[in-house]
Structure 1
């Protein structure tokens, strides 16, 4: 096993950071690492917004559910699916790109490009000894995020990424069993085998919480998922995405 794999396997979300900003060199290295990620057909359909203004960070922390580590972090990045620059390309090249830019396929390309870039950025940051945490909570109110960050049409803020010097390192959460994630030569969909794997995983997760909280919690993963998915959060998303001129065809 090499150092890159060790860094990847050692990942855990950090939600408590020291009061120390990232240097300009660190920010540039993280963003350039993000840009080195694969991108579908060289389309590069994403933008990264660094948020350093204390007022803007406080507003985004409030949107994200009053999470203090959104505001109190070394650096806050916001990753966006972005086809706005491709509208500019249409003007420059004097072509009509409306249909492809509004297609579900190009929306998926933009989301995938942004996610690939973000994961490169995360690994780069962790390789420097920094900690990270993805912030999906900014999607609680994308109208507010659009206002705070001056987001134009054909751009969707997907998630934040807090990066900083860890103040407290948490235990690593156990992942799903290997065979539940990795299937060879086709999807292995035997429901009884799936249930057996998930029951085993529930026991692992429950033990993790019991140990981490000294007996205060014993959640199962399937119980968490049933409760979370049943809450029907952010159901406005389709309307927002289409209002931004994406995923309309």
Structure 2
């Protein structure tokens, strides 16, 4: 396919969205561009992705966001921590896998993923260029047991990022991966795109920890990982929720 100029691709995408019975009204060109980039600047593929996102968003978050009182079981585990911005201005969140157990209510788990991602992205507004806010995640597997290994939830989390938050993931650091998790990670990896997998770094050495410190910054990275910050529970970070933005 011949290369399409960015301006032309944008107009073609908007037209394709209308042909699919939807609208891009209210969306910034910066947000729409992320769908184009995620689909290699193919206007029709980007339009389909956008319409799928819009339908999903209306179903998963009809209020425009996920209130805390709708994910209280997941919040109660205190397994997610939301730190300050990275050196690049990206939002940093941490998952303590040893505090996670397979949910009884899987729909709440999926809504919790959206709650995390929305709040994380909103927390870096003003630190990163508008429309280019991204996420850096740390998946901490220290001291996990078989009871904490939940392949289904991990796949759901990564697929939500891939399918509905295009161009939002900057990096995932997996730290302290034990042998009991290796098989599970192989299964999860099979569901991830190459683009996503290229952003995952398994930290195995001091060199890897140094790279994580350089990416995130000492003032944001918690002491547990070589920085100087304290872990901040997700629910302790107070933000003013706004109408939904595009992933």
Per the normalisation by structure 1, the TM-score is 0.25
Structure with greater contact order relative to length (CA < 8 Å, sep ≥ 6): 1
TM-score (norm 2): 0.26
User: Which has the larger Rg?
Assistant: 1
